[in-house]
Structure 1
Amino acid sequence: MTNRGPLSDQDTQTKALEVLERHSKKRGLARLMPFLGPAFVVSVAYMDPGNFATNIQSGAQFGYLLIWVVLASSLIAMLIQSLSAKLGIATGKSLPEVVRQEYRPWVRYFYWIQAELAAIATDLAEFIGAALGFHLLMGIPLVWGGVLAAITTFALLILQRYGFRPLEAAISVLVGVIALAYIFELFFSHPDLGLIQGFIPRFSGSDSILLAVGILGATVMPHVIYLHSALTEQRIPVQDPALKRRLLRFSNVDVVVALSIASFVNMAMLVAAAAVFHKTGRTDIADITTAYQTLTPLLGPLASAAFAVALLASGLSSTTVGTMAGQLVMQGFVGFSIPLWVRRLVTLIPSFVVILLGLDPTQVLVISQVVLSFAIPFALIPLLLFTNSPRLMGELANSKLVQALGWLIAALIIGLNLYLVIQSF
């Protein structure tokens, strides 16, 4: 994930061309396989334990009302992640590296500090979710669930030593586990046709807006905006504009497939909560542990077990990816790094503090997602500025339509956050 500078080696370019040509002639999945992976890695951030918290609260309290927010957030995420991947392909640099290249030192350090704070909030949600998964499945104290989660994430991070493919494969398997678990949840929960009304944009009071901002913060994650550009910057290094365009097409397919799965999982979370809790009058369900315990008498032990397995897979995969992103942020913005295991140990401290103090894990998750929504513009605005620039992007610079959509999305996110601040005071 480090920038190795512009490639001038003719052999490397020839090899990249051979890869693109060889797989362009194939059909179906065989054609796409070498290019699938980066979006699946970042997709776990779009179905992390923070999503469980906000979607359960949204479904239990407001029924199907906010399905449209999940869908809109997922479409926004697709555009943003495609731009992040495009930046890596076009420039051969990650977003933090381009910030370091283009901005003054004090700006770079500001970006680094706020990105690290966002990473802490991210990891807090993800690691606690993994700890909760072990706690619910095995019936052990939450602190021991945290210990098991720490050991497992260290094991997953070791895979990175063997190249990007083993880790991508492990993350993709965990994504599949989450999706399958929620297919079971939908089967058990029997949602009704009323869910169709959830696709009509509307709110119901300030509480629904707060949860909508939380959904947005949980769905559009700033750390993976940084990460995706790093995963594509040197994956198949090419310099020819035509090859970059071809590679970008494959990358966009990767984004659409991976984030469509994430979108399904998020909507399934909300729909299941609405069908099970809101429909039975349990609108007070706002806690992951309570949701798990309530599922057993309502739907049976298999439903609650599927919920806990999905939560565990979500927490383990997303906290692993979050650690990778944190390393990238430091390396890209300020040009130095620390051993990955040291970063993992340091980022465990806030999570264990929350666990040992006995704070409500679900409330911590929801608050962390709202905090993350405030960090989104700091990643999104430079991404738009850079991908709009022909000087940096060449022929891959954003079209006028994409520029307009990008700035509209940025304005929407900033506007929702300002409204949240005004409502809070």
Structure 2
Amino acid sequence: MPSTAPAATDAVPLRGFVARGRLLGLIGPAFVAAIAFVDPGNIATNISAGVDYKYLLLWAVVAAALMAMVVQYLSAKLGLATGQSLAEVCRERTNTPVRITLWLVAEIVVISTDLAEFVGGAIALQLLFDIPLLPGGIIVAAVSMLVLRMRVKGRELFPIVVVALLVVLAGCFIYLIARSPFDPSAALASLVPRLDDSASALLACGIIGATVMPHAVFLHSSLAGSFAAERRRGTPLPVLLRYLRRDVLVAMTLAGVVNALMLLIATELPAGTSSELDAVYRAFADNRGTVFAVCFAVAMLASGLASACAGVFAGQAIMQGFLRVRSNIWLRRLISTIPALVVLALVPNTTQALVLSQVVLSFGLPFALIPLLIFTSRRVVMAELVNGPVVKLLGGLITAIVVGLNMFLLVITFAG
């Protein structure tokens, strides 16, 4: 039976949007979670992969998108079945050492995610307006706080702004790919998985960590938990499940296409181009024109602002779910802002910091995937929504791939 304690969704101000705001019968919790899959960390890893390895790692982008669909479907199904977030389920059904470990890893994941969002947004402001990185990071924090305040005050502007930013991001990359020649045959050939060296393995881990996004697993289950109330009000289970499947399919497909476009537009940059985002921006300006480069920077700014807002709600769901502490939204933003501002002030290679933050996400991913797979496979937790054999197989395969890539990276790093 679900806990009678306040659900994480009660604290996350997106609940009303998720339960009621089904724009055109389509936009739901997966679209909010999808913001996490197209954040500046994705841009950094995908652009770096395209610049350094051309089409080699396109398979990782496609695989990560397919994995994200399965993982987010499981996350949504857990919320629908229990009315709880994954963090709440872990709190109630694990012992204290396991619960504390999962919580600490989840908090590290959220900080790493917010690092990418703030650094990426600050880089975009520097490219667009020549604002130094540290003041740029402060501006990103201030704007995200403003957007969050719109929603906290009871207005419905937060989800509208976030989805609008997602549309801007997708539109920018569609424009960029329309003006970027690429080799379709080489792209198709690159769908066969392979790695060249330890650096390509590092990028592959970063791509998967940046796309599957462990904190989005906690956020999505929290948001989808609001559908359990609709189920209790009499909405048929097949209707809700069909809606959530469509929501996940469309949102994750959109995010996957945008990620693939990120890599493809970078493949045609001249050999020797640095993969640092400011160098990529200048190369785009030199080879494609100022409008092309500005569109790239606008896309990065939109992704940073949108994902910075979504990250706060993920942090709320994690803290309240694991600790049963109703965290203050402004405190969550402060916790996320300080590490990012330190990196902007002290780290010279911000693009490398972005990529490494995504590798941290990849190593943190099993700590969300394994509990998710275990609990969604237990009938006592899921009732009639328990995973079938095919879903169990897919979930196990995804977890094995993530753990295998991480172990491979550790081996080749220390061996080298």
Global fold match (TM > 0.5): yes
Q: State percent identity of aligned pairs.
A: 42
Match of 2:294 in 1: 305
Residue identity opposite 1:229 in structure 2 = S
Q: Distance in 2 between matches of 1:424 and 1:165?
A: 48
Shift in Å at residue 396 of structure 1? 0.6
2:271 corresponding residue in structure 1: 281
CA contact (8 A) 1:90 1:244 kept: no
Deviation at 1:349, TM superposition (A): 0.8
Q: Is the Cα–Cα contact under 8 Å of residues 82 and 228 in structure 2 kept in the other structure?
A: no
Partner SS for 2:325: coil
What is the rounded CA distance, in whole Å, between the counterparts of 1:82 and 1:327 in structure 2? 21
- Judged with a 3 Å threshold, the aligned counterparts in structure 2 of structure 1 residues 159 and 4 are, in CA distance, closer, same or farther, namely farther
Q: Which residue of 2 aligns with 1:15?
A: none
Structure 2 CA distance, aligned partners of 1:423 and 1:184?
Answer: 38
Q: Can you list the C-alpha shifts for 1:191-213, whole angstroms capped at 9, x where unaligned?
A: 23332222232222332222111
Contact 1:37–1:168, Cα closer than 8 Å, also in 2? no
Q: Which amino acid aligns with 2:92?
A: Q
TM-score, structure 2 normalization: 0.91
* Offset at residue 37 of structure 1 (A): 2.3
What's the CA shift for 1:410?
A: 0.5
TM-score norm. by structure 1 comes to 0.89
1:410 aligns with 2:399: yes
2:211 paired with 1:219? yes
Task: Note if contact 2:51-2:267 (Cα within 8 Å) is conserved in structure 1.
Answer: yes
The answer for the alignment partner of 1:421 in structure 2 is: 410
Matching residue within 319, 340, 360 for 2:329: 340
Residue 303 to residue 210, structure 1, CA distance change in 2 (3 Å): same
Cα distance, 1:357 vs structure 2 = 1.3
Q: 2:376 aligns with which of 372, 379, 387?
A: 387
Match of 1:243 among 236, 247, 253: 236
Aligned: 1:102 with 2:103? no
Kindly indicate whether the alpha-carbon contact (under 8 Å) linking 1:67 and 1:199 is maintained by their aligned counterparts in 2. yes
1:135 to 116, 119, 126: 126
Query: How big is the shift at 1:3?
Result: 7.5
Please report how far the alpha carbon of residue 293 of structure 1 lies from its aligned counterpart in structure 2 after TM superposition: 1.2
- Summarize the Cα distance change of 1:90–1:421 in structure 2 as closer, same or farther, 3 Å threshold: same
Letter in 2 for 1:301: T
Q: What amino acid maps onto 2:262 in structure 1?
A: M
* SS of residue matched to 1:257: helix
Distance 1:158 1:358 in 2: 30
Alpha-carbon distance, 1:39 to partner: 0.8
Tell me the equivalent position of 2:224. Answer: 232
**Quick check: 1:108–1:334 contact (8 Å CA) kept in 2?**
no
Evaluate the alpha carbon distance shift between residue 129 and residue 223 of structure 1 in structure 2; reply closer, same or farther with a 3 A threshold.
Answer: same
Give the conservation status (yes or no) of the 8 Å contact 1:40–1:168. Answer: no
**What's the Cα RMSD here?**
2.2
1:70 aligns with 2:64: no
Q: Distance in 2 between matches of 1:87 and 1:401?
A: 17
Structure 1: distance between partners of 2:155 and 2:258: 25
Identify the residue that residue 73 of structure 2 maps to in structure 1.
82
CA contact (8 A) 1:118 1:375 kept: yes
Between the two proteins, the alignment pairs up a number of residues equal to 399
The answer on whether the counterparts of 1:40 and 1:171 sit within 8 Å (CA) in structure 2 is: no
Aligned to 1:189: 180
CA positional deviation for 1:107:
2.1
Give the one of 346, 366, 389 matched to 1:400: 389
1:108 positional shift: 1.6
**Structure 1 residues 247-289: Cα deviation after superposition (integer angstroms, max 9, x where no partner):** 01101111111111111110001000002x1xx323x421011
Cα distance in 1 for residues equivalent to 2:139 and 2:276: 22
Name 2:356's counterpart in structure 1. 367
Superposition deviation, residue 139 in structure 1: 1.3
Contact 1:174 1:314 in 2 (8 A): yes
- Listed as ranges, the gaps of 5+ residues in structure 2 are 8-18
Distance apart, 1:393 and its partner CA: 0.6
CA 1:182–1:4 in 2, change beyond 3 Å: closer, same or farther?
farther
**Aligned residue in 1 for 2:109:** 118
Seen in structure 2, the aligned counterparts of structure 1 residues 84 and 241 have a Cα distance that, compared at 3 Å, is farther
**What do the CA deviations read for 1:96-129 (whole angstroms, capped 9, x no partner)?**
0011111122322221111111111111111111
Distance in 2 separating the partners of 1:61 and 1:309? 23
- The CA deviation at 1:240 is 8.1
Deviation at 1:184, TM superposition (A): 1.3
Match of 1:291 in 2: 280
